[in-house]
A and B are shown apart, each in its own frame.
Chain A
Amino acid sequence: MTGEVSMNWQGVTIMISSLALVIALSLYCVYHLVRNRE
């Protein structure tokens, strides 16, 4: 296995922000879909 590279603080920040963004957008849609169930 290869293991020479380590994650820097910028990589951690971008990864967490990107994941948070798509999860938040999905939850926002789910919230409105549930609230306005047919």
Chain B
Amino acid sequence: MNSSNEGWASRIGLILAVASGAIGLGNFLRFPGQAVQNGGGAFMVPYIISFLILGIPVCLVEWTMGRMGGSHGRSFPFIFKEFLKGYPLRISGTIGVMIPVMIYVYYVFIESWCLAYVYYFLTGGLSLGSSEASGTAEVIAHSSDFFMNLTGAKENGSSFESSIFIFFLLCFFFNFFLVYRGLQKGLEAFAKLAIPLMGICSMIVLIRVLTIPGIESGLAVMWNPDWSLLAEPKVWINAAGQIFFSLSTGFGIALVFSSFLKKKDDVVLSSLSSASLNEFAEVVFGGMITIPVAFLFLGATVTAFGTFGMGFIALPAVFSMMPGGNIFGALWYFVLFLAALTSSVTMLQPGVLFLEEGFKLNRKKSSFLLFIFTFTLCLPIVYFNKDFAALDIADFYVGTILIYILASIQIFVFYFKVGVDKGVEYANEGSILPFPKVIQWILKYITPWFLLFVFLSFCYMNLPEYLDKMNPEKMGQLALLEGKSAHDAEVKAYIARYVVVGIILIFFLLYAVVSRAFFLREKKESV
């Protein structure tokens, strides 16, 4: 059996598969963190505007382009044959195959942290102490210690000796088990089960959180607006970035999944439905649980935690202080685990589809090849995890910069090669709802340029810092100034360098593979 001939069992299945790919840790951890650091309730103004001018248009474009290119194939490089040729096609095709596979490589490791927390909450192995007995600061210190030891973030290589390696293997095998089962029996069937389960578990945790006495002070920190921050450009850039990453636009996953659709099938309502499901999870569960409960127990320090700190240091500390915290902690990390698992399974599909289509492999062989490839790449990420060095660099260059590049390629190809009016006309064929006129106008005059502006601003704000992270001399000097080990900082900088070199080498390797797949297709067509 070959997934590229299989398709989806139902429209709902496709919508849930795309939505399950989009709903991830970013909805539950990154969104509330961004909101509280960027004006609280005031953040919702640029957030909703970005949803309208970036989120919805890019989603609609991806689904429309996927259906358009479906006559050429089911994987990114072949779908894009509809729009490009020559080097631009091979480069875009390579990025389209590379992004989801490479993100999977580090995302599955983070997924295993969630599974580990479910296990430790359920078995009572996470005893961080109570705030009455030892004070909040000590509970947080214990939580931080537990997290750093568990994930091997204290010393390179220690993750291989920690229990996290077993959870990592479990997650890795389960992902490939679902991939091996195919689109309908694997991803689609699992998404149909996982999304309602996520909703039920989140609702239970939400009800528990909202019934804690004094929760309104936590809600105040999350939702009371600080309008003065709207004058800062970075707040608008962060809101646009949050929408962009939350909806998983630019991954090329919706494009690949919608390539199975026929001309008579809907794309407008389907793309809007998967986007709205993602927003529902983000605002209702992400906005109402994480920050309110964390503030209630930890106080104002809660704004200082980053995404990982919030998810794996602050919240475990909170659940350990809460009555019945073991049960609610296990439920919460089960939600995060499901969100991460459904996302990681969708990330593997474009790679498997490409191998099946480009090299006429069956699912068994394509899954096995991808397993070997991703597992080999995972090992250095897991090994060099001191201060999350390798993971952080991979996430920045693949999970951020390359996604912006691919999204820009898609939107500009749609803009210049397809044409907005022609594309909208095509999207309307077979669609249940018409392509909204206002979104058409926004797509024509605002979205491409806004996306480019956000991308360039993001690079301006973050690229210098990440380039410095690859400079051993500079990082060593900086560490000395901060009273830290210069040697450790230099090692970290060398790891960053090797990760970037690795990403570049993988790009060229995949470029050769994509070119070979095109060659084989052309040879077959000429016979």
Contacts and interface: CB of A to CB of B under 8 A. Distances in A.
Interface residues of B, number: 40
Interface of B: 10-12, 15, 40-42, 44, 48, 214, 216-217, 219-225, 266, 269, 272-273, 276-277, 279-280, 282-284, 287-288, 295-300, 432-433
A21 to B, nearest CB: 7
Contacts of B41: 10-11, 14-15, 18
B216 A6 contact: yes
Contacts of B11: 33, 38
Given A2-B297, A32-B433, A33-B269, A11 B224 contact: yes
What DSSP secondary structure best describes chain A's contact surface?
helix
B12 A33 contact: yes
Residue from the set A1, A14, A19, A33 with the largest chain B CB neighbour count within 10 Å: A1
Nearest to B11: A38
10 interchain residue pairs of minimum CB distance:
A14-B41, A11-B224, A2-B299, A29-B273, A11-B223, A7-B220, A15-B223, A3-B214, A25-B276, A5-B220
Contacts, number: 97
A7 B219 contact: yes
Contact of A2 (B10, B279, B296): B296
Given A18-B44, A32-B269, A10 B284 contact: no
Contacts of A36: 266, 269, 432
A13 to B, nearest CB: 8
A33 B271 CA distance: 12
A34 B402 CA distance: 37
A26 B277 contact: yes
A34 to B, nearest CB: 10
Contacts of A7: 216-217, 219-220, 223-224
B217 A4 contact: yes
A7 B48 CA distance: 21
Contacts of A19: 283-284, 287-288
A36 to B, nearest CB: 5
Contacts of B225: 10-11, 14
Contacts of B223: 7, 11-12, 14-15
Contacts of B44: 14, 18
Given A3-B214, A33-B12, A22 B284 contact: yes
A2 B300 contact: yes
A25 B48 CA distance: 12
A14 to B, nearest CB: 4
B433 to A, nearest CB: 6
B217 A3 contact: yes
A26 B216 contact: no
B238 to A, nearest CB: 17
